[in-house]
Amino acid sequence: MTATALLEGRNLRKTYRLGRRTTVEALRGVDVRIDRGEMVAIMGPSGSGKSTLMHILGLLHSPDANHGPRPELSFGGQDMVNLGEGERTKIRAREMGFVFQDFNLVPTLTAIENVMLACDYAGIRGAPARALAAEALALVDLADRADHRPAELSGGEQQRVAIARALVNKPSLILADEPTGNLDSERSAEVLGLLRRFNQEHGQTFILVTHDPDVAAACDRVIRVRDGRIRDQSLSAVPQPLDLEAREAVA
């Protein structure tokens, strides 16, 4: 089985400048390859550069190009490093889905309007967008909460709305930063099961930043980051479907 690369990065570096002298080297030269249809976890201690890596892979930040070896990043075979912000925004809108750790939804919009926003940015509006959004909300089991504002939803429900929004355009890549960080283990397993199902049924690629070993264990592969470098990107030890079913059975 020869997998094709969806994302390929080389020499990815990111240095944050705090003051005149102080800099933080969040990423110190990372080579990474994510294949189509993979479900990958990024793990590591706090401050190790996991979110920084995810933001670069998700085209939210550019890798540093002004020092060290030239960075390379390709998505679907296309160069991303020299792309303008407008093009990157378009790719984020059409080909990527995002779930962030805590603040995900626009507070003035209802659940379904939040999901429709992603359709809108991808160029789908009106009745077709509403139908797609309703469908996505039904997938995360929130059809009856469509007209609730975020303030009227629990933390877990908000997270599921964000997942519905990330999935609604059927993007090839979904990036999630601590998608289960705010959830109890039961909810967390449920969300994870949902992501896994999409990964298997639609062949979508998932990158999950997580602290949770259970989440990592449910993925095909774990990228371990420490001090801005990749330590290890081994395949998961345990064959996951079994593991997941076992946990779901418990829940």
Q: Which residues bind ligand ATP (CB under 6 A)?
A: 16, 18, 24, 26, 44, 46-52
Q: Rounded to an integer, what distance in angstroms lies between the CA atom of residue 83 and that of residue 189?
A: 37
Q: Give the span between the Cα atoms of 112 and 131, in whole angstroms.
A: 10
How many residues sit close enough to other proteins to count as binding (CB under 8 A)? Answer: 27
What DSSP line would sit under 154-166, residue for residue? -HHHHHHHHHHHH
In whole angstroms, the minimum distance from the beta carbon of 50 to ligand ATP comes to: 3
**Residue 180 interacts with Mg ion (CB under 5 A)?**
no
Give 117 or 143: the residue with its C-beta nearer to other proteins: 117
Q: Of other proteins, ligand ATP, Mg ion, none, which one sits near residue 1, judging by CB under 5 to 8 A according to partner kind?
A: none
Question: CA 176, CA 41: separation in Å to the nearest integer?
Answer: 10
Piece in contact with Mg ion (CB under 5 A), picked from 43-51, 81-89, 143-151, 225-233: 43-51
Residue 107 burial by Cβ neighbours in a 10 Å radius (0-12, 13-18, 19+): exposed
Q: For residue 153, which amino acid is it?
A: L
Site string for other proteins, 151-180 (x = CB under 8 A): --------------x---------------
Return all residues near 40 (Cβ < 8 A) that are at least 6 apart.
Answer: 34, 205, 206, 207, 208, 219, 220, 221, 222, 223
Q: Is 244 in the site for other proteins (CB under 8 A)?
A: no
Whole-angstrom Cα distance, residue 180 to residue 106? 19
CB of 155 to other proteins, least distance (A): 16
Report the partner that residue 61 touches, choosing among Mg ion, other proteins, ligand ATP, none (CB closer than 5 to 8 A by kind).
other proteins
Q: Could you say whether residue 51 binds Mg ion (CB under 5 A)? A: yes
Nearer to Mg ion, 29 or 44 (CB): 44
